[in-house]
Structure formats: C-alpha cells, structure tokens
Amino acid sequence: MPALRAIRQCLSLGTLMLLISGCGSIHQGAPSLAAKEEDHRKQEVTFTRLQPQRYTPDEWPQALYARVLLPDTLSAKQRPAALIVHGGGWRNRTPDDMDGIAEQLAQQGYVTVNIEHRFSPEYRFPTQLHDLQQAMAWIHANSQEWQVDTNRIVGVGFSSGAHLVSLLALAGVEGALAEPYGGEQSRLAAVLAGGLPSDLLKFDDGRLVVDFIGGTRAEENEAYRLASPARQITPQAPPFFLFHGSWDRLVPVDHATDFYQALQENNIESELYLQSFRGHFASFLFRGSAIEAGIAFLNRQVLSED
C-alpha cells in the first residue's frame, strides 16, 4: 500500500533519527531548537546591495564576480559573513539561484558573498575549489572595510555548490587541496549544505561527474576520493547543517545520511533535515523551513558572540 511504503521509506532513512515529525521534515543529530528558540536576530535588518565585483586576481584564467550584500547595521562590532555557492552540476547556472538565500542571511546580519565559479568540462577539479579559495582570500582582504570577523565566515551551497563549500570546509585549509591557494584564510566556521553529493564514488560514470573530474572512476580513482567530502572528514571539521529530499534520485539520500553518520562518528556538531516526498530540485524550490532551520543552526554557531 502507498501509505505503508511511505512509512517504510521514512523509517529506513537512518538508524540515528532523533526527531521525527510524522514522516515529514526530519531533524537528525543534536535536537533542533529552530522551532522553539527565540532568535535575537529575528527582527530583520535592511541591507545594501553592492554592484557585482570581480573577486579573482587579474592573472586568473577567467574573470569571476561576486554579489555582495552589506547589512545596514549601526553597530561597530565585526559581523559574520557567508560565502554562497550555486549549484548546476559544476557546469552551469548562476548566482541568481542563491539570491533569495543571500537576502535571508543579510537580513540576519551576515555580509553575504554570492559567487560565480568556473565550469566543467573546460575547467576540471580542483579548479572550482581554487575559485572558492580565492573568494575567501578576497573576503579576508575586504574584511576591515566590510566589518567582517574572519573567524566567523560560513559556507552555504546547494547541490554541486554544497559539494564545493563542503570540500572547502573539510580539505581547503590543510592537505593536498590546500595548495597553492588555500590555507588558514580558507577556514569556515560552519556549513549549510543542501542536496550534497558527498561521495563521488557512489555515482555511476555519468556525464556530470566524469566531466568534472576528467575521467571515470577506474581512470581517476584517487581524484574521485580526493574530491569526495565524505572521505575528507576529520575531527577538526566545522559544524554542518544538511538538508536533503527523501525522494532525491539525482543525488540519492544516502549521500546525506551516510555523511551525517560520519560527522557524528567524528563528534562533529551536525544536523540533518530530511524533506519528505521531495526530489532534488523540489528540495531546493520548496526549501523554506529547511533554510530557516539551517540559518538558525548557523546563528547558533557564529552569532553567540554578538
């Protein structure tokens, strides 16, 4: 029966579920306070929208631009910032997709930096990660003018954008992917990731991933491992909020549940918000409550000092 199948699907999404709401939105991990907490940033602030600015150096292979929103706050205190990255299978789409999320964050007091990045197949892994590392360097360079606390920069992305910000958070500071553009200035304080393709080795050799990596799993196995956030988790990882559609066929839900479980095993503060009866694109188009819960999670990580 359809109802029974739906219930079974919800119950099979993980053995670690701590909060279930009628097989609807599911928080997993530390119990979410999103629906109950009194957020001191609840009263929205206005913001100023800057003209798109080039964030890459003159010698970069492609000129890339960022859209910056500056909250109109009167306080002299430094503010958190959010690096925001759109999806599109590493090969298309624009920052337009993330403008709404950027505005939500700016209304909460974040300086938001919504960026372009280079596309596959012309540019392959890890060049997109290098773009994000350059964006982080650019935020640091402008931190005084924008009143940004560089210890409170979060990463926000959906789909391939979630992949890139997660990889930045987990492997952009130390190790093989930190050179030559990463290092300490690439450190993120927390991540909000939706529809995250967390382990590229789980995919068949489809066009999107093969174009991004530059070969099949058999041909480029080590690159697939290096490019998989799930295989880069260490106890030093920042807090993660994940949201994912339970009916996602493009990026199956085990990318989220397995990634979440690995975070828990490494004692990383994390939450998983499962959106029932939604596929990959619907989980983004109808993201409202998931994004609200995700921003509440980010606020708990970086606004406590305000």
- 76 pLDDT band, cuts 50/70/90, is low
Q: Return the CATH number of 27-302, one of 3.30.1330.10, 3.40.50.970, 3.20.20.70, 3.40.50.1820.
A: 3.40.50.1820
User: Quick check: pTM over 0.75?
Assistant: yes
| Count of other CB atoms within 10 angstroms of residue 287 | 21
Does residue 9 or residue 171 have the better pLDDT? 171
The share of the chain scoring above pLDDT 90, in percent, equals 82
Environment class of residue 38 by beta-carbon count within 10 Å: exposed (0-12), middle (13-18) or buried (19+)?
A: exposed
Q: Are 223 and 167 in contact (CB under 8 A)?
A: no
pLDDT of 77 reads 83
Does residue 43 or residue 11 have the better pLDDT? 43
The b/e string for 109-130 (b: 16+ C-beta within 10 A; e otherwise) is bbbbbbbbbbbbeebbbbbbbb
- Reduced to 3 states (helix: H, G, I; strand: E, B; else coil), residue 306 is coil
pLDDT in tens, 137-152: 999 999 999 999 999 9
pLDDT of 45 reads 87
Which of 27-31, 92-96, 120-124, 264-268 shows the lowest mean pLDDT across its residues? 27-31
Residue spans per domain, the chain: 27-302
